[in-house]
Each structure stands twice: as structure tokens, then as C-alpha cells.
Copies of this chain bind each other. A is one copy, B any other.
Amino acid sequence: IESDNSVQLEHILEELHFADVAEIIDELNLEQAVYIVKLLDSEKTSEALMELDEDQRDRVLNALSPKEIADELEEMDTDDAADILNELPDNIAQEVISELIDEQHAEDIVDLLRYEENSAGGLMAKELVKVNENWTVTGCVSEMRAQAENVTRVHSIYVVDNNDKLKGRLSLKDLLTSPASTPIKDVCKPKVDYVTVKTSGEEVSRIMRKYDLEAIPVVDELDRLVGRVTIDDIVDFITEEAEKDYQLASGISQDVEANDSIWDLTKARLPWLVLGLVGGIGAAAIMGGFEHLIKEYAVLFLFTPLIAAMAGNVGVQSSAIIVQGIANDDLKGSIGNRLLKEILLAMLNGVILAILLFAYTFFAEGEFLTSLAISISLFAVIIVAGLVGTFVPLALHKRGIDPALATGPFITTSNDIFGILIYFLIAKAIIGI
């Protein structure tokens, strides 16, 4: 297909949905991909570009001139265009902006670049349909028609006053069933959910999910309507956040996938493994401090992997529940109450597990005191691990750090060390060495 007939190829691809074109481009090598992007008109390719795998998109964009990139951006929604510019090196982005022909479009895009990526400002698009509360229904309809040309999907019509302040919302139905000379003020629904440009992405997605919204207007510090966030962007946002949390919990720095190069995967995985290695060396050093016991109480050393594993598991469990509670904003009660609840929970789990372990060690080894020491240590380790797992994400969140960082290898590693230290201290006290 690739080698010869460009006219025929163009025909085939023009028929396809842009998301399918994007899938095809993802599979091609760079030269072929750039060839196709240049071949098709920018209306199709601009949408396809947005659907591409990020790495492939970077490569394709690098191969295009600033003028060619600007042509693509002209066809994009402002929010997508701003995302692309954010990915480009600063000097190239500057050149691309100066190549934009549509002044208003360029202004809107530059406007969006000001906002943080993870805020309503960074997620919103400038494209929306708004009408002035002082217009009449007739004036409104013709003005709307012009505005709607730039907007792919009209979710809501927003009503503003002379200062562009958001006043309410208008339903198409009310508009069509009202007499032509009615002022918009009298038709408009004054109650409308909105967010400000600074609202975090998590909060926007929570509000939209709670009220089942498909779009939400965004206002600036002066309550002026500046954009809207649509549900498809929120779906992407939710998916990305979930993947990021999942990867952090699994000890992978964000933004890699199975098909990335071995080098990229190593960069994402190795740092966490080095952390684990350092933790393991720390554990070995602690055990080394008790090495004089090894001849008489060898059995204590046999259970160190068990203690470390249980400390890690409990820590991951309790931190995961806290991280999800924070993400869903449904944690009730104070930190003190949380910790108290976790202590009770850990005590319940700890007692059951300690009894099981005691039963095994006592029957297998037959030494009452050693078995007792091992089981009681396990009980203590589980409580401490649960507390650490609960406290660390809460503390990180209070300091404005992503609590998901505290899950996975971080909590397992620190709990390994803690766990083994507590284990030997308690065992020593009980056996009375």
C-alpha cells in the first residue's frame, strides 16, 4: 500500500474515522507516518494527531516545520492545540504560535498556556456558545448559530452579563419554545454548576461525576466565563490518573507502557528497585547487629522474610485504602480517629495471624518461648505497619504531596526495615537474651 499510489491511499484514508487513521499511523515508521500526515488535509490529521501515542506524536511533530504544525493547530480545538504546544520545546512553540493565522484562535491558545495542566484552566477549551442576558431570543438564535460553527458539540448555552460574568444556563428547548422578543434574562436558568480556572482536575471530575454533567463552565477570578471542560477530557483525565496511581503502587514511575523500549522501562523501574536494594541492605545490617544470636536461635532468622513480607503487605493495604479515600474525597473524621481505627483493625488481623503462626511454629519447632516471641513480634509488626501505612499518605497529602507516592515500594521498603528491627527487639526481650 505504502509504496506507490498516493491518490488512492488518500481516498481510502479520507473515508476512515480519524481515530482509525491514528491507529494506522501508530503502526508505521516515522517516514511513512510523516508522509501520511502531509498527504491528508489538516482537518483529518489534526484530530488524528491528538489520538496518537505520545511518543509517536513527538516524533512526527519533530519532523514537521513550524508552519506545518501551525496548520494543524488551526484546525484543532484550543485545548488540544495548547496541549501540543506544551509538548514542544519553547523556541519551536514560539515559532509555531507566530505562524498561526487566525488571530482569535492564537490568542485563545496562548491564553490556555498560562494555566497549570492539572487544573480546570488547563483542561478547558475556549470553544463554547455564550449569549448576553440582555439580548432577546431572536438576536440570540442568530448569534448562536455563528458561534456553534466552531464548537463540535453544543452541550449547553451559557448566559453572561455585559462584563462577561456567568449568569446562568439556557436550554435549547426553552429557547425554541419562547416568544421571539423575550429577553434572555427571563428564559435563563440561574442555577448552574461551575468551577474556577484554579479548581484541580480531581475536583472537576468529582463534580462532573456527582452531577452527571457532560460539560461544565469555567470562570476566572472575576467570575468571567472563560471556557468549559467537556466530559471526554475528563474521561481521559480519570484514566490517566488511575494509571498513574496504579503504576506508583506497583513501583513504576509514571508514563510507561508495555510497548516502550527496554531503556525507557528500565528508567521507570530501576530507581524503585534500587530503593528496595537499599532497604534490603538496611535490613541485613540490622540483622547483622543480632548475628551473635544466630547459633543459638537460628529459627528466629528463618522467619525474617515472613515478618518483612507481612509488614509490607499490611502497609500496602492500609495505604491503598487511604489513598483511595483521599482520591474520592470521602474520608471522614480526624487523623487521630483514622489511626485508632487502623490500630483496632490491625489488632484484630494481628491476633488471628499471630495465633496461626504460633500454632505452626510450636508444632514444627516445639519451642514454646521462641514460638511465642515470633508470634508476638508478628502481632506488633502488623500494628506498626498498619499505622505507618495509614499515617504516611495522610501526612503527605496534608503537605500537598501526591499520597500515591507513599504506596508500593516506598511503604514496603520502610516497613521491611521497621518490621525486622521491631521483630528482633521484641524477640530479644521475650527470650530474655
Contacts and interface: CB of A to CB of B under 8 A. Distances in A.
Interface of A: 17, 19, 51, 153, 208-212, 214, 231-232, 234-236, 238-239, 242-243, 245-247, 249-252, 256-259, 262, 265-266, 269-270, 272-274, 276-277, 279-281, 283-284, 287-288, 291, 294-295, 298, 301-310, 312-314, 316-317, 319-322, 324-325, 328, 330-332, 338, 341, 344-345, 348-349, 352-353, 356-357, 360, 407-409, 412-413, 416, 420
A305 B283 contact: yes
Contacts of A51: 210
A259 B356 contact: no
Nearest to A23: B210
Contact of A252 (B276, B303, B317): B317
Nearest to A231: B231
Contacts of A305: 280, 283-284, 287, 304-305, 308, 416, 420
Contacts of A153: 214
Number of copies: 2
A290 to B, nearest CB: 9
Contacts of A245: 242, 246
Q: Is the interface of A mostly helix, strand, loop or mixed?
A: helix
B274 A356 contact: yes
The 3 closest A-B pairs by CB, nearest first: A280-B306, A250-B320, A242-B242
A317 B267 CA distance: 13
A298 to B, nearest CB: 5
A313 B356 contact: no
Contacts of A344: 262
Contact of A309 (B17, B259, B303, B312): B312
A298 B289 CA distance: 12
B313 A353 contact: no
A17 B210 CA distance: 10
B320 A252 contact: yes
A247 B330 contact: no
Nearest to A263: B348
A316 B251 contact: yes
Nearest to A207: B19
